Structure 1
Amino acid sequence: MKRREFIVSSCTACLSMTGLAALTGCRSTQFISGRLNTDGMYIDMDDFKVKDKGQTGYHAYVVVRNEELKFPICVYRFSDTEYAAIWMQCAHQGAELQAAGTHLHCPAHGSEYDNKGRVTNGPAERDLRTFPVTVNNNQLFIDLRKK
């Protein structure tokens, strides 16, 4: 195989794998709309459920978007009773964050946060804004009032 053919075939293979990984990543993120009231937002706990081959599993997180909010909220599920709700605005310069597994990433400057909103990699120096989450029957209430 000539050098040029090798480079073309290698690049094609890499791009194919990258594209597949991107599609898989998009598919695993669950986007939902929360129901706002004067004090906060409600979401259904069933939004975390994933059914696969007759088995029920759970998304590690869901991203809640609502047209009334400037930024989405990422809600991480740790157990049936423990959740973390995190404002997806970077504490460094205000860019919208991206959820990726157990962390949030800023595409603008590379800051990273864990699934509790704590800075794990700068340039951000402060943790993210978080909201209290209350479990009530089959719903989560995210309290959006100021701390």
Structure 2
Amino acid sequence: MQNRIDLLLKNFPKPSKVPDKFMQYKLPIHLICSGLAYRKLAKDIAICLVRKYIEDNRVIYPPIYLTKSQFINGWRDFLFINGQKPDKWKKASVVVFDGLDEANNQTELQYISSFISQLIVDKTPFILISCNKISEQTLRRYNAMSFGVQLLDIEVVNINES
């Protein structure tokens, strides 16, 4: 089992040790971090949550770890075409999107919002990572809360539960 999980995660970075308190959360989830120290922790939490999801659900397809620049540079590869999932992530077990807060303009924000909406509609488990500077407008735009996406402020959890 461990070899299968390691094989599925071969393209993912190796996480640092993550406090157990973060492992209770389920996907889909939006991890909000402030500053670089918490961004590193957010990435580690995301990787550990993906590993846990793969273990718990006996997943056979690999997850995708996607940065904002990878998405914007190849956005056509990720958006639905005539209601069909693109090959790029058709068989993704989980999608980790790092950089929700990095959209440089309305067009990029629109592409990102469409992608997240597609993940929600398709019921693909996902993890979003962003700094806390993300606007309420952006959160409302993809209406994640009404679809059961948990919002986790890493700094608050880290301080309150230490």
Q: Under a length normalisation based on structure 2, what TM-score does the superposition of the two structures give?
A: 0.25
Structure number with the higher strand fraction is: 1
Larger radius of gyration: 1
Structure number with the higher helix fraction is: 2
Q: Under a length normalisation based on structure 1, what TM-score does the superposition of the two structures give?
A: 0.27
